[in-house]
Structure 1
Amino acid sequence: MQETILLFFQNIANPFLDSFANICSALGEQTFVIAFIVAILWCFDKKKGFVICSSMLFSVTSMGILKAIVRAPRPFTVLPSIAGKRLATATGYSFPSGHTTTAASFYSALAVAYKKRTLSIISAIMIILVGTSRLYLGVHWPIDVFGGLVLGVSISLLASSKLSKLYEDKKKRYRFSLTLGSIVLVAGSILAILLQAGLVDEVAFSDLMKTLVLSGGGYLGFALEAKKVNYSTEGTAGRKIIRFLAGLAGVLAIMALKLIIPSSLYFLGSMLRYALIGFWATGLYPLIGKSLF
């Protein structure tokens, strides 16, 4: 049954659908989602940004753990009839689909946060498009996409109300962010050291390590913001655009550190970059760029 579904998409493939599937797949990738979340955090609503970001991080971390446990092969590595496309995004094992999990968590959390019928419909369409694109591209089994959809939506729906209440209590939010950030940052750092030493499976744990240190840096940033910064998202449209572009330039600069970190230190370099991106987005940029807020 799963092979039949994948063969259907292979048989209808054409250049237009290839381009469309690549665009849809990008809607569930980290670059797009991170840019969207920081726009909410910096320019629109800190509480909603915290809830959406947390829901997505919980989902993606759970997905990474499942991938490391199940270690399912991807369809294009098993079926000669399936030609995988956009393989640069097909890192790690297959179950569950990371793109689908990310999209399902992000867009469902977005819909819950804003409670607008039109946005809910658009979010549902986005989730379906991302999941379907991964089948069309031949990089996931249908069960991977279904699992990612259930995981992402379930965690966001279950966590959103609790995270919203947590945000209202500044002291509890500070303690929660500091404790969770410290724990997952240490766990991710240990995993990075093990990966660098070649002691654990790179395919199983590389993406999980990046998620853990990104989360760790992000939550330590949330703790810093709650304790010291307390910025405002108000401002004119022009001011918000400048604020967003300046902060995004910082994210891109951190990502560009990859160009100067020796490839022999790839995992330790990745640990540094992803932790810094999380900390920059939620705490450091609001602190040093407060005049733009």
Structure 2
Amino acid sequence: MYILFLFILFGAIAALMVSGVCQTLDNQIILWFENIRLPFINDVMLAVTDFGISALLVPIMLIFSVVLLVYKRYYSIMLLFLLYLTEKTINHELKGLFARERPAFDHLVNETYYSFPSGHSMNAATIYPFIAYLLVEMIPWLKERQKTVYLITGLCVFVIGISRMYIGVHYLTDVIAGFAIGLALFLLCKKIDEKLSGIRQK
């Protein structure tokens, strides 16, 4: 149900983006973030946004894979990297399909490829919830506090999305679309992992 809703949400956002209905709002949000910029906040947002880039995300995944090895969750390691590769491929293809140019405003970093959907937001919404889910499933102490774990993970993903707009490289619709597809992929992979866990226990 949630997966279907997220795909419908992505389709709706994509339709609004293509029609140009949300462009004025997208522009106003980017300009608002430009107006509130401060050197200290700039540094924080540039650091936060890096948690959605592959150069940092892949090492995090590799370190987490060691934890999965300790817990003998070999199939989860495979799923984690398969999820990442699938998400990256889908994001690249969607960007090529929609070919939306980056915001033509003052940006704090340079990005060379298309804008829709946001790759950083999609990375974060796919991988970090899956890591949080696996930690909750493996560690009893975290399972007892799973709502807190998911809340913190959600806030981190949200801030990464905000950072993309703050630094001027993505519109709001880019970020929401990235979240929608990313979360849908996470939920699909979570279902697969749950099925495999059930088979393994039998």
Letter in 1 for 2:92: G
Letter in 1 for 2:147: R
Aligned equivalent of 1:256: none
Structure possessing the higher radius of gyration over alpha carbons: 1
CA distance in 2, matches of 1:55, 1:164: 15
Question: Which one of 29, 46, 58 corresponds to residue 5 of structure 1?
Answer: 29
Aligned equivalent of 2:117: 96
The 5-angstrom pairing of residues 108-187 of structure 1 reads 108-115=129-136, 116-166=146-196
Secondary structure at 2:117's aligned position in 1?
coil
Q: Number of residues paired by the alignment? A: 163
Q: Summarize the Cα distance change of 1:159–1:43 in structure 2 as closer, same or farther, 3 Å threshold.
A: closer
C-alpha deviation, 1:165, in angstroms: 3.6
C-alpha deviation, 1:168, in angstroms: 8.0
The 5-angstrom pairing of residues 119-268 of structure 1 reads 119-166=149-196
Aligned equivalent of 1:286: none
Deviates more, 1:131-140 or 1:58-67: 58-67
Structure 1 alignment gaps of length 5 or more: 77-81, 171-293
Q: Summarize the Cα distance change of 1:70–1:136 in structure 2 as closer, same or farther, 3 Å threshold.
A: same
Letter in 1 for 2:36: I
Identity between Structure 1 and Structure 2 (%): 26
Letter in 2 for 1:9: F
Secondary structure at 1:17's aligned position in 2?
helix
Letter in 2 for 1:129: V
C-alpha deviation, 1:56, in angstroms: 2.4
For the 8 Å contact 2:120–2:160, the answer to whether it is kept is: yes
Q: Summarize the Cα distance change of 1:117–1:27 in structure 2 as closer, same or farther, 3 Å threshold.
A: same
C-alpha deviation, 1:32, in angstroms: 1.5
Structure 2 alignment gaps of length 5 or more: 1-24, 137-145
CA distance in 2, matches of 1:60, 1:118: 28
Aligned equivalent of 2:48: 24
2:96 matches 1:68: yes
Letter in 1 for 2:46: N
Question: Which one of 82, 87, 90 corresponds to residue 54 of structure 1?
Answer: 82
- The Cα offsets for residues 168-188 of structure 1, whole Å up to 9 and x where unpaired, read as 879xxxxxxxxxxxxxxxxxx
For the 8 Å contact 1:96–1:148, the answer to whether it is kept is: yes
CA distance in 1, matches of 2:34, 2:109: 14
**TM-score normalised per structure 2:** 0.74
Q: Summarize the Cα distance change of 1:91–1:139 in structure 2 as closer, same or farther, 3 Å threshold.
A: same
CA distance in 1, matches of 2:159, 2:50: 10
CA distance in 1, matches of 2:156, 2:84: 15
Aligned equivalent of 1:215: none
For the 8 Å contact 2:76–2:193, the answer to whether it is kept is: no
Secondary structure at 2:30's aligned position in 1?
helix
**TM-score normalised per structure 1:** 0.52
CA distance in 1, matches of 2:194, 2:54: 23
- Higher RCO structure, 1 or 2 (CA under 8 Å, sep 6+): 2
2:39 matches 1:15: yes
2:108 matches 1:85: yes
Q: Summarize the Cα distance change of 1:121–1:49 in structure 2 as closer, same or farther, 3 Å threshold.
A: farther
- The Cα offsets for residues 77-132 of structure 1, whole Å up to 9 and x where unpaired, read as xxxxx201121xx2310000010000110112122223333321221011111100
Aligned equivalent of 1:44: 68
